[in-house]
Structure 1
Amino acid sequence: IGCFCIGTNQVDLQGARERGIAVFNAPFSNTRSVAELVLGEILLLLRGIPQRNALAHRGGWLKSANGSFEARGKTLGIIGYGHIGTQLGIMAENIGMNVEFYDIEDKLTLGNATQVHNLTQLLQRADVISLHVPETPQTKNLIGMAELEVMKQGAILINASRGTVVDIDALAESLRENKLSGAAIDVFPVEPKSNDEEFVSPLREFDNVILTPHIGGSTQEAQENIGIEVAGKLAKYSDNGSTITAVNFPEVSLPELANRSRLLHVHHNRPGVLTQINQAFAQHGINIAAQYLQTDEAIGYVVIDVDTDQSEVALKELSAVEGTIRARILH
């Protein structure tokens, strides 16, 4: 299964794994697009452009420097220092921002960024907070009222990661109390299912909030890159059984051998399966030219190259192994 996006919550990953189906996504292809969107929103919000723009559309005129700031010298706090977070950090440094980040793992810092090992400390120090974390039980409502209260007075919050990460009602209350000077939200807990459905959110009342319809990665360049990335992974899996970067499957990649047949075997992860395979092949005189097994907590995935004239017998023996989920000849 190929997901032409980053998120995979539209697929039952466990159900697919239990049936021996690998799932691939595109975690890299829209990185630049998301980072550019966030950087643009930082500049707009620091200058107070959204509310001035909204007022001008209503016939108003607010020519004032009050609440309008340069990005240079401000501190950007990045929560989640992955592909997007790192690129955003580099781009922000290029316009003079100080970059600090929080991640649950120790990360190699790029540029002059500094890792902060306490989320509360980052929230207290940053002028702008940008979220770049996956959707997990641990990140649900990662930013709620308690976290908003410890942020700097007049800080900015940006979420272009997952819709469940921010408590929207708490954010709305914080904006009503003028705790934050603005926000930019691209993802929401509940989103319209089509462009014809009304978007409903308590954040619609605020001129100082940029609301975008989940378009962080929606650029022509990103869509082309996503198509190439996911299609390439599916082609590699189809051609040689590679599951590198699969989101629900053990990662296996075995170099091709000339004049050999390749078999794929997915099985429940239990002791002795590989021994059964090797013993069965030995009993029938099947020569294993190459073999690579990887497992996770639920399944094992083994790629086996055998002499070409032995592939049908090998498949029959693989299918008979106890615990087999799926077995097939690739070529």
Structure 2
Amino acid sequence: MTSPKYINSELSNQFQNAVKMSTSPSASFMPGGSPSQFAGSPPSSYFPAAASRRASMKTPAPKLLKPFATEDIKILLLENVNQAAVEMLQSQGYQVEFHKTSLNEDELIEKIRDVHAIGIRSKTKLTARVMAEARNLVVIGCFCIGVNQVDLEWAAKHGIAVFNSPFSNSRSVAELVIGEIIALARQFTDRSNELHQGIWNKVSAGCWEIRGKTLGIVGYGHIGAQLSVLAESMGMSVVYYDVLPIMSLGMAKQVNTLDELCREADFVTLHVPALPETENMISAPQLAAMKNGSYLINCSRGTVVDIPALIDAMKTGKLAGASLDVYPNEPAKNGPYFDTALNAWFEPLSKLKNLILTPHIGGSTEEAQSAIGVEVGQALIKYINEGSTIGAVNFPEVSLRSLTLEDENHVRVLYVHSNVPGVLRTVNEIFAEHNIDKQFSESRGDIAYLMADISGVNAEDIRELYDKLERTPFKILTRLLY
């Protein structure tokens, strides 16, 4: 198998190659030229003056900024965050504390008090009680798709930006679903379990090819769309339901209601977030609408399926099989903790035939975890070092181009404040004695975020700017980078 380091290199190379791809006219539009002669952009000899200008132009090196009034940046990483992220963050000179497991609430409160950033996956719960103990916390990295384990509103109101990785494990989840579709159709997990017990049970009754069957996808986002393409390549028809009108890929068809999808599909797979609107969205009425002998797959969130209703549908034979990768309550760590004490329906569920139960492993591949580590790690670095919030899930998205080594005596102001009238006037009065090179502000609900680069400042000016901004009545968080 390919190692994560090679994967990172491969992704980087693919990206660089994509950037280098020429948008010049193809050879067929260039008379007298052979394809090999004109592959890529024209050589510099065609445009000697332009080539000379390009050669003389140099991009100024970015300036490494450091935080004002802050000691070394401390980062806490939990739940065995991928080593790609650990190495990236350590390379920035941050103090990184790494744990392979999650922590209970009391342990977490003790650890989080002095850190500036924390990286988690799905098991760690960052509640208001936990975050209230964090004196220096400015950013949270969720090394996964979901962010429902974080109190996003509380974090935003206290100037803490939250980043996640919404796309990096899409392929891994889609491939798992394809595997589960085939496994359910052929009942091969039951046959495997029987043979482990010495039972030879070669049967074909109730076993099917997936070619010619209909897959119903609930939620046609990044995972659903990739799954759609994979399913069609294997000869399946695809229908999908989404609350938004979304252009289909291939021959997939969007249906108007969830019930319509349930009636048409042989396999129903769920790819929606955990929201009040999606809680128990598959319950007794939806299961009753599904075809007799159909299959249900849930790799989204544990609250989406009414599991007691699913058990009843399996027992009556309404469903021929099901696969669950997520559950309403999941253990905080690996071990013998998935039991009746955690979920009351565990015992009847575990006795069902042709039921695949997996421990939330949809995105648990080396490739996905490496890509997630890189994506979220880069987001944390960009926010800590530059103040960029592009990709934040709870924060106004603001970014300014990097300061360069040519920008001497500059300070970058990062000012999180209440979204009320009069703030910009007050702040610009504080800036009035200095030159504002660039400034940008954006709001999101009750929170606003202002970035500004100010030139012609010395150490005393920076201290004065910081103190004045800290005293403003609208201030949520002030950071200065210089």
Q: TM-score range by the shorter chain?
A: over 0.9
1:264 alignment partner in structure 2: 414
Matched position secondary structure for 1:78: strand
- 1:319 and 2:470 correspond: yes
Name stretches of at least 5 consecutive residues in structure 2 with no aligned partner: 1-139, 340-345
Say whether 1:153 aligns with 2:292: yes
Distance 1:236 1:100 in 2: 39
Q: Does 1:329 align with 2:480?
A: yes
The answer to whether structure 1 residue 281 and structure 2 residue 281 are counterparts is no
Alignment RMSD, CA only? Answer: 1.5
**SS across alignment from 1:158:** strand
Change (3 A) 1:327 1:102: same
**Match runs of 1:213-232 below 5 Å:** 213-232=359-378
Residues 149 and 312 of structure 1, relative CA distance in 2, 3 Å threshold: same
Distance 1:314 1:103, change over 3 A: same
Alignment of 1:149-298 (within 5 A): 149-200=288-339, 201=346, 202-258=348-404, 259=407, 260-282=410-432, 285-298=433-446
Q: Secondary structure at the match of 1:6?
A: coil
Aligned partner of 2:377: which letter? Answer: A
Amino acid aligned to 1:206 = L
Give the whole-Å Cα distance in 2 for the aligned partners of 1:274 and 1:147. Answer: 52
The code of the aligned residue for 2:335 comes to D
Structure 1, residues 218-242: CA drift from partner, whole Å, max 9, x if none?
1111111111111110011112111
Matched, 1:6 2:154: no
Aligned to 1:135: 274
1:4–1:25 contact (8 Å) kept in structure 2: yes
Aligned-partner Cα distance in 2 for 1:206–1:117: 33
Q: Which amino acid aligns with 1:247?
A: V
SS of corresponding position for 1:42: helix
Distance 2:472 2:247 in 1: 44
Tell me, in whole angstroms, the C-alpha distance in 1 between the residues paired with 2:250 and 2:454: 48
Query: Do 2:434 and 2:456's aligned partners in 1 also have CA atoms closer than 8 Å?
Result: no
**Residues 281 and 317, structure 1, Cα contact 8 Å, conserved in 2:** no
Indicate whether 1:28 and 2:174 are aligned: no
Q: What displacement does 1:324 show?
A: 0.7
SS in 2 for 1:16: helix
CA contact 1:99–1:112 (8 Å) conserved in 2? yes
Please identify runs of 4+ aligned residues in structure 1 that moved more than 4 A.
none
Shift of 1:143: 0.6
TM-score normalised according to structure 1 size: 0.95
Rounded to whole Å, the distance in 1 between the matches of 2:159 and 2:143 is 20
In 2, the alpha carbon distance for the partners of 1:232 and 1:323 equals: 30
Residue 298 of structure 1 aligns with an amino acid whose one-letter code is: D
CA distance in 2, matches of 1:324, 1:114: 49
1:162-194 CA deviation, whole Å, 9 max, x = no partner?
Answer: 111101111011000000010010001112222
Q: Distance in 1 between matches of 2:456 and 2:449?
A: 21
CA offsets per residue over residues 266-290 of structure 1, 9 Å max, x none?
01111221222223323xx222111
Secondary structure of the corresponding residue to residue 216 of structure 2:
strand
Code of the residue aligned with 1:330 in structure 2: it is L
Asked if structure 2 preserves the Cα contact closer than 8 Å seen for 1:77 and 1:128, the reply is yes
The question of whether the paired residues in 1 share the 8 Å contact of 2:435 and 2:456 is answered with no
| 1:303 and 2:454 matched | no
Matches within 5 A, 1:34-183: 34-183=173-322
Counterparts of 1:235 and 1:192 in 2: how far apart (Å)? 31
Q: Deviations over 1:241-274 (max 9, x none)?
A: 1111111111112112441321100011112212
In structure 2, give the amino acid aligned to 1:279: E
Matched position secondary structure for 2:378: helix
SS in 2 for 1:111: coil
SS at match of 2:205: coil
Give deviations 1:7-47, integer Å, cap 9, x for gaps: 22222212211110101111112111111111100011112
- For 2:366, give the aligned amino acid: Q
For residues 456 and 244 of structure 2, the distance between their equivalents in structure 1, rounded to whole angstroms, comes to 46
Q: What is the identity, as a one-letter code, of the residue corresponding to 2:162?
A: V
Secondary structure of 2:249's aligned partner: coil
Distance 1:95 1:15 in 2: 46
Q: 1:37-78 CA distances to partner (integer Å, 9 max, x unpaired)? A: 111000111122222223333333333322111111111111
The whole-number CA distance in structure 1 between the counterparts of 2:311 and 2:329 is 15
CA distance in 2, matches of 1:10, 1:219: 21
Q: How far apart are the structure 1 equivalents of 2:375 and 2:199?
A: 47
Cα distance in 2 between the residues matched to 1:140 and 1:51: 30
TM-score (structure 2 length as normaliser): 0.66
Segment of structure 1 superposing worse, 4-13 or 128-137: 4-13
Matched residue type, 1:104: V
